[in-house]
Amino acid sequence: MKFMIVGKASAETEAGAVPSQELVDGMRAYNESLTKAGVLLAAEGLYPSSHGAQISYSDGKATVIDGPFTEAKELIAGFWLIQVKSREEAVEWALRVPVPPGNDGVGLEVWQVFDGSDTPEGTMSPEQQAYDEALRERLLGDEPRP
């Protein structure tokens, strides 16, 4: 099962503050433990929302809204994508994320990632299944991306 651990933004991350060396070291150690356990698929920090955009839809039309966005508590600062055996194991890993002091109220979210293999049998055509499998292999392999 794949899960995404989402790190929520704070006023500091939204301001583009550089994390302390202690936090950087803690994150590196955490990422190393995920890697050694063989569960880490990806992990990235994100720029503040001033570098991003939101897209909303109304009546079939898209509207692009440039950042920054006002509700920092609704934003994310980074993520980990892990593959584990259960939701409980994902939560256990999330509980090990180093959190800097003074960040009360800022937290994490743990989301299960939908995978094509989770689709009930018989709901996808053999062609759709083959396409999904080939795409996954191409993304995970060394094949050049178009």
* Backbone φ, ψ for residue 122 (5° rounding): 90, -5
Q: What pLDDT does residue 97 have?
A: 94
Residue of 139, 39, 145 whose CA lies nearest to 96: 39
Radius of gyration of the chain measured on its C-alpha atoms = 18
More confident residue, 126 or 62: 62
pTM: 0.80
Q: Enumerate domains of the chain plus CATH numbers.
A: 2-55+62-113 (3.30.70.1060), 115-146 (no CATH)
User: In this model, does residue 127 exceed pLDDT 80?
Assistant: yes
Q: What pLDDT does residue 114 have?
A: 87
Local structure of 126: helix, strand or coil: helix
pLDDT digits (tens, 9 = 90+) for 92-125: 999 999 987 666 666 899 999 987 666 777 677 7
**Integer Cα distance of 62 and 60 in angstroms:** 7
Q: What pLDDT does residue 117 have?
A: 67
